[in-house]
Structure formats: C-alpha cells, structure tokens
Structure 1
Amino acid sequence: MAFHLNSRALLPGVRRFASLSLLAALGLLSACTTVETPVEKKPLGTTFRAEAFEKLPKAPSGAWGEALSAFNLSCTRLSSAPWSEICAKAKWESPERAEAFFAENFTPWAVEVPGKGEARTDAGLMTGYYEPLLHGSRVRDRKNAYPIYGVPDDLLIIDLAELYPELKGKRLRGKLDGRRVVPYDQRGIIQERGDLEKWAIAWVDDPVDAFFLQVQGSGRIELPDGSFMRVGFADQNGWRYRSIGSWLIREEGLKSHELSMQRIRAWAKANPGKVKKALAQNPSFIFFEERSGDPALGPVGAQGVPLTPQSSVAVDPNRWRLGTPFVIDAEQDRPQLHLARPVIAQDTGGAIRGVLRFDYFWGFGDKAGEAAGRQKSRVRAWVLVPKGLAPEDILPGDAHAPR
C-alpha cells in the first residue's frame, strides 16, 4: 500500500497571505524543498486509443449501477458542457440501465504512457485507501492521550499567484520566526510541542491509528458515549510525505513485500518504544477539522462530494479532471487480487502523481482497511469520454502540455 494524503479544501478562516515580499517567499522556497513547488518540465507523452465498449473488462453485477450513483454525485459539481448535458440524462437513469447509459454516452479510450526506452505501456499502479475507525474522546484522559490537531494559528499559508500567475494553486506553508518566514515544523518537532494541545479537536487511544488517519486523510472517531465524530483534512504542514517503509527496511529488517498496514501495526505493537522515532521519519503532518454529513455516506473527497466505496478513485488532478469516469482493470500476485470496475475520479492524494496512478477507495472500517492495506496492483485504465470528443477535450487545461 502506498500511503497517501487526501488534498481537501483548506479550512476557512485560516490566516492567508495573498502575497508576501518576494524575498520572503523565495527564501521559504529555497529553505524547504519539500513544499509544493512546480514540477520539472517534461513532455507528458500520453497516448489514447479508442476501443469498443463491449471489449472492456467485464465488471461484476451491480458495479455499473454503483458507478452511476457516484457519477450523479459528481454531476453536482459538473456544470459546464459537455458534462451538463450528460448529467441531465444520468439523473433519470435506473441502476438496471447504468451500463447502457455509459455505453450510449461515452467512448472508452485506452490509456498508454511512455515505458522503458522507446516502448509504451498501458500498465500503471493502483493502491487502496479507506475511511478508518478510531477510538477516542473530545478531551484528553489517561486512555486517550494522542492528539488529533486542528489547524494551529501559527501556520501561515502563502499564495504566490499574485506574484506569479503561473503558480496558480501553488501554496507554501510556513511560520514566522521574528520577521522571517521559515518552513513549518516537521512531524518530529510537532510531536514534541506541548503548546499545540489547545488546538486538539480530539484525543485517541493509539498513536499508530492517529498516524494512519493522517495517511488516509479522513476518518471517524468513536466517542465514549457510542457516538461518532467524523474528521477530515483541513491543512498540512508543507512537507512532502515520506513513507516510513524505507526506515523499517533499513533499521528493522522488514522486507519490502511486508510493508502492508497490517504488518506495520504488528511491528508497532511489538516495538512500542520505537514508534515515535519511526513515525517521525515522515516529516509531513496533517491537521484536521470536524466534519458533518450523513453517516451513511462516505467522506467528502477533493471534488467536494461523498466518496462511494469501490466506485471512487483518487487521481492526479494535474492529469485528470475530477468527475471523469474510468474503467480500471487491476491485478496483483501477492496477495492475489483481480478487480475490474467502472469508477469515478472524485479525490486526490499527495502520493497520487502521474497519468496511470490511481488510489481505490474501499470504504469504511476495518474490513475495508484490510483490503486497502494489501493493495498494490498493476492497473490498466480506459477513460470514458463523452461521444464526439477526444480525451484531450476533457483534460485539465494544461494536462497534455509539456511539463
């Protein structure tokens, strides 16, 4: 499993600076190379090949109906042509006619990317994620001693778009050190800061559960009275996510194929004195906000709609427009897994980068977590494009431009 962070909307009310002095902004860029910075410019090199709908991998019974329900949720955020016309049709379709609806309105295009040398490949990577269940309290007590932090007031968000329009959407995170803006604290420092406790929105009973909540980006906390508190991504400290797997391999002798969520939990239980050091290997830290909403629905993804188990995926938003339907065909050998389903791009993640890179939402709870923790699949994908259009017509504005 490639643990990732979901990119949610930023918490309203957090202090923002539309622009800082040029020297301060550039100084922060040079001081913290792991903040959001422009990617190296390279040709994307993606190619597409139209295929007949009937040649798509066969999906299990009910999968097209579930994908239609997820697509209808995305339609609440898709208001421009050609989506508005297709969404108007989708809301009147029944689950029984879901596959026919997609066949009548979309053309599948197989996705290929550059491989080794001059070769091309249709094989990518799909991992899994889920909405975890934690146990905790709104106040600290002897049992619940590990904080889930809201956004602290010393976290600054610096938007460079006013200075550099080409950096639209790129934000820096930092804090003030006298008159200087410096990178915000890494996880290891945050773990030791006692002054952040006033920003805790909940306390949970397990530090590894708290860490995996950050990896997943959202979750539910069962409170002592049996009620549930839903929390979701509010902001991040600006440091790029780093898996603790390489540290566990190097320092603890784990094998690369053992780096599932279950194996890491087992290691932590057997080595409680090393847990804090292991978690600090990942400098990235997520701050949360309490979320409301129908408990029967999934967490809200980056598109702003609830995620649908086994019908929602996270994608790279620089490559794909949220709301786009796909058919994915994923398989792996250890442990064995094969699934072929229609899915809708409704989320993003810090580790989800590239054209053939997907994160598959398994749902809520321990069973979904077990499935997500085992998944690291080869994947082929077909993007479903409204009939009469080419894939390039529905990509983000610069997705197929040199980068």
Structure 2
Amino acid sequence: MGKLIGLALAGLIGLASPASAALDEAEITLLSFEDLEGWQDDDHAAAFDTFLHTCELLNDPQWDPVCAIGFDFTGTPRSFFELFFRPVLIEDGQDGLFTAYYEPEINGSERRTSRYDVPVYRRPDTPVSYTRKQIEQDGVLEGRGLEIAWVEDPVELQFLQIQGSGRIILPDGSSIRLGFGGSNGHRYSSLGDELVRRGIYTIHQVSASVIKNWVRRNPVAGRELLNHNRSYVFFTELEHLPPASGPVGAMSRTISAGRTLAVDPAYTPLGAPVWLEKAGAEPFSRLMVAQDTGSRIKGAQRADIFWGTGDDAGREAGRIKDPGRMVVLLPIQRAYALVPED
C-alpha cells in the first residue's frame, strides 16, 4: 500500500523533528552530484515545481532559507539543487525495493440501486473496531448516514481502500474524489499472499487483475477471501479538488504522477527531494519529492512511486517491484549534521 494512508500531522512532525532513532542506527554517506547516475539528463524543472508545491510546509530553520530562495530563484532548476543541497545516501542494511501506486477509478452512484449496492463509508464519529465482514456483510454501520456513495463491486472497493484514495465515476460522468479518512484499526492482510499460502497461485502469478478475476469467478470463496483482510478503510470526500489534479498525500497537498514518492519518514523527511535510481525491466533515474507515506513503506531504501490515475496507471503500477537506490537531497547544513564526527 502503499499507498496514500498517511497522516499530514505525523508527516510534518517527522519533517521538523531532530534526527530519529532510526537515523542514529543507519549508515549515512555524503555523495556528490557526479555520483548520481543520469543526474544531468533529468527534467529538473518538473522536480523543481513539485518540490515548491509543498516547500512552504517545511517549517524548519534548516529548510526555511532554501524554500525562500526557491520561490524567487532565477537560475536553472538544476543549479538550484546543486547550489543548496547535498546528496545523502541513507542505508539500513536492507536492499532497495521500489514499487508503485495509483489513484483508482471505479463506477458508482450517490444513491443505492440494484446495481450499486456496496456502501462507501465515511468514518463514524466514535472509534470502531468492527471487522470487514461485520461492516460489509453484517451491516453494522447501516442506517447511520455514513454512506458517501455506493459502488457495484466489493473487490474494486477493497483495492481502492488499499490505495487509500480514488475517484468514484458517477453515471453522468462526474466524479467524487475520495481521500483517506481513517481505518477500523485491524492490521492489513494481503489477498495475494493468502492466495499463495493456499496454493492457488505462485508468488510470480499474483497480480491485482488475477486477484480480482479469481474473486469474481468464485463468488463464495471470493467473499471469504475479501474478509480475510479484516482491515477496513474509511474515506472522506474531497469536494474542492480540481479534476485534473492528483490525489492528496500525507502533506495535505495534491501529489504528482511520476514525481511523488511515498517514503518512510523515519529515514526520509517529507518534502525532501529524492534522487531515485530504479533498476528492473524498465529502469530510470529521476529526481522526485517525498510527499507521501504508506503503512507498508518501511526502511531507508524503500519507496512507492505515485504512477497516476485510472486503470492504465494501475496496470503499470502493478508491474513495478524493482531494486535500485534512492539518495535524499538535504540542505547542506543538515546533510553535514548527519555525518558522525571522527
């Protein structure tokens, strides 16, 4: 998941606070920009615009001057990063792993109909610990006015919940934008891992489309599989979000396809530029910005790439599970402060 399930407040605290206990145990190496593979070939302007989109939220004495300069900077975007930042490689002993996430679009209605009869709930005012089965099958939340909309497919809804945000496409072509609104407190369990555990598929066969098709072909066993993930995500309606913008990430700002990373803020401060060198079938090197978090994104060299909106983005995102390296760009003073003294 990565996905968009992150809290803005936690992100901002993680950004402004001193070095975390995780950083105290990490191996930290200062690099030069010449050490970044493909640095000179990237579209630094796209990364610069993405960085400035959340820069004003970096309420920290080591970031404030850099952001102030950025808003008035008249040089090239590449020179901005080279003048005011230092690349920092942060490692925790685990190999790099980079996946991707997206903003789903699913069909639905503002009213319950014979076709659209699966509710999409906002979070109740009082905490709940009901399981997915109790909410979706036993109807424990019915009649409380919590429905934002109705959709037709519980498996599509669960994948929307895994991503943490999405769009419900209404019959007239308009849409409802959804953001993460909380959860029932139960731990997430992977549907794909469960199918592998049962011997139905191998780890290399499992994908989002394979899971969805299996659930639809096996309605009884499929319903039971969906209930295996006891975690349930509630949503909030994002009423004033422009249709062309991305979803809202952990910094309470919209995020950018191909330029936003979800990271572990214990190692990478939210709002920081991050140089990503992704290997695998379709390798690329790109300057991105840490603007999101995810409950399964843990580690210094672990990140989730926001790939975009809709089915095509979802198919592409589902294929990405690659090794590589990420290097955080930090203000020069902060970068040197992380290096242990001899």
Q: Same fold by TM (over 0.5)?
A: yes
Can you give the 5+ residue segments of structure 2 that lack an aligned partner in the other structure? 10-20
3-state SS of the aligned residue for 2:279?
strand
In the alignment, the residues of structure 2 paired with residue 392 and residue 233 of structure 1 have an alpha-carbon distance, to the nearest angstrom, of: 35
Q: Identify the match of residue 98 of structure 1 among 77, 98, 101.
A: 77
C-alpha distance after superposition, 1:273-304 (max 9, x if no partner): 32211111111110001002122211110111
In the alignment, the residues of structure 1 paired with residue 337 and residue 120 of structure 2 have an alpha-carbon distance, to the nearest angstrom, of: 41
Q: 2:69 matched to 1:89?
A: yes
In the alignment, the residues of structure 1 paired with residue 334 and residue 292 of structure 2 have an alpha-carbon distance, to the nearest angstrom, of: 24
Q: Identify the match of residue 133 of structure 2 among 188, 204, 211.
A: 188
In the alignment, the residues of structure 1 paired with residue 245 and residue 292 of structure 2 have an alpha-carbon distance, to the nearest angstrom, of: 15
In the alignment, the residues of structure 1 paired with residue 39 and residue 220 of structure 2 have an alpha-carbon distance, to the nearest angstrom, of: 46
1:363 maps to a residue whose letter is G
Q: Which residue of 1 aligns with 2:225?
A: 278
Is the Cα–Cα contact under 8 Å of residues 8 and 234 in structure 1 kept in the other structure?
Answer: no
In the alignment, the residues of structure 1 paired with residue 193 and residue 48 of structure 2 have an alpha-carbon distance, to the nearest angstrom, of: 40
In the alignment, the residues of structure 2 paired with residue 9 and residue 113 of structure 1 have an alpha-carbon distance, to the nearest angstrom, of: 25
Q: 2:250 matched to 1:302?
A: yes
Task: Kindly report which structure 2 residues correspond to 1:99-118, keeping only aligned pairs within 5 A, or say none.
Answer: 99-114=78-93
Q: Which residue of 1 aligns with 2:123?
A: 151
Is the Cα–Cα contact under 8 Å of residues 28 and 338 in structure 2 kept in the other structure?
Answer: no
Task: Kindly report which structure 2 residues correspond to 1:193-342, keeping only aligned pairs within 5 A, or say none.
Answer: 193-197=138-142, 198-251=145-198, 253-291=200-238, 292-332=240-280, 336-342=281-287
3-state SS of the aligned residue for 1:103?
helix
In the alignment, the residues of structure 1 paired with residue 104 and residue 337 of structure 2 have an alpha-carbon distance, to the nearest angstrom, of: 36
Is the Cα–Cα contact under 8 Å of residues 148 and 287 in structure 1 kept in the other structure?
Answer: yes
Is the Cα–Cα contact under 8 Å of residues 31 and 89 in structure 2 kept in the other structure?
Answer: yes
Q: 2:322 matched to 1:374?
A: no
3-state SS of the aligned residue for 2:317?
helix
| Deviation for aligned residue 1:60 | 8.8
| Deviation for aligned residue 1:268 | 2.5
Task: Give the superposed CA RMSD.
Answer: 2.4
Q: 2:307 matched to 1:362?
A: yes
Is the Cα–Cα contact under 8 Å of residues 130 and 364 in structure 1 kept in the other structure?
Answer: yes
Is the Cα–Cα contact under 8 Å of residues 9 and 234 in structure 1 kept in the other structure?
Answer: no
Q: Which residue of 1 aligns with 2:289?
A: 344
| Deviation for aligned residue 1:62 | 5.8
Q: Which residue of 1 aligns with 2:17?
A: none
In the alignment, the residues of structure 1 paired with residue 232 and residue 320 of structure 2 have an alpha-carbon distance, to the nearest angstrom, of: 23
Q: Which residue of 1 aligns with 2:110?
A: 138
1:240 maps to a residue whose letter is R
In the superposition, relative to structure 1, how do residues 76 and 208 fare at CA in structure 2: closer, same or farther (>3 Å)? Answer: same
In the alignment, the residues of structure 2 paired with residue 251 and residue 55 of structure 1 have an alpha-carbon distance, to the nearest angstrom, of: 45
Q: What TM-score comes out, normalization by structure 1 length?
A: 0.75
| Deviation for aligned residue 1:98 | 1.6
C-alpha distance after superposition, 1:208-254 (max 9, x if no partner): 11011100000111111111110111111111211112221133521
In the alignment, the residues of structure 2 paired with residue 126 and residue 106 of structure 1 have an alpha-carbon distance, to the nearest angstrom, of: 23
| Deviation for aligned residue 1:47 | 1.2
3-state SS of the aligned residue for 1:109?
strand
In the alignment, the residues of structure 1 paired with residue 268 and residue 230 of structure 2 have an alpha-carbon distance, to the nearest angstrom, of: 28
| Deviation for aligned residue 1:59 | 5.3
| Deviation for aligned residue 1:255 | 0.8
1:208 maps to a residue whose letter is V
Q: What TM-score comes out, normalization by structure 2 length?
A: 0.88
Q: 2:46 matched to 1:46?
A: no
In the alignment, the residues of structure 2 paired with residue 241 and residue 391 of structure 1 have an alpha-carbon distance, to the nearest angstrom, of: 38
In the alignment, the residues of structure 2 paired with residue 6 and residue 90 of structure 1 have an alpha-carbon distance, to the nearest angstrom, of: 29
Runs of 4+ in 1 over 3 A off after TM superposition: 2-5, 41-44, 59-63, 391-394
3-state SS of the aligned residue for 1:141?
coil
C-alpha distance after superposition, 1:17-50 (max 9, x if no partner): xxxxxxxxxxxxxxxxxxxxxxxx9896311211
In the alignment, the residues of structure 1 paired with residue 89 and residue 23 of structure 2 have an alpha-carbon distance, to the nearest angstrom, of: 19
| Deviation for aligned residue 1:369 | 0.7
Q: Which moved more, 1:188-197 or 1:305-314?
A: 188-197
In the alignment, the residues of structure 1 paired with residue 41 and residue 170 of structure 2 have an alpha-carbon distance, to the nearest angstrom, of: 37
C-alpha distance after superposition, 1:48-71 (max 9, x if no partner): 211220221215966322211111
1:77 maps to a residue whose letter is L
Q: Which residue of 2 aligns with 1:128?
A: 100
In the superposition, relative to structure 1, how do residues 230 and 340 fare at CA in structure 2: closer, same or farther (>3 Å)? Answer: same
| Deviation for aligned residue 1:390 | 2.3
Q: 2:24 matched to 1:77?
A: no
3-state SS of the aligned residue for 1:54?
helix
1:209 maps to a residue whose letter is E
Is the Cα–Cα contact under 8 Å of residues 192 and 207 in structure 2 kept in the other structure?
Answer: no
In the alignment, the residues of structure 2 paired with residue 93 and residue 220 of structure 1 have an alpha-carbon distance, to the nearest angstrom, of: 36
Is the Cα–Cα contact under 8 Å of residues 279 and 322 in structure 2 kept in the other structure?
Answer: yes
3-state SS of the aligned residue for 2:87?
strand
Can you give the 5+ residue segments of structure 1 that lack an aligned partner in the other structure? 11-40, 116-122, 157-174, 176-183, 395-399
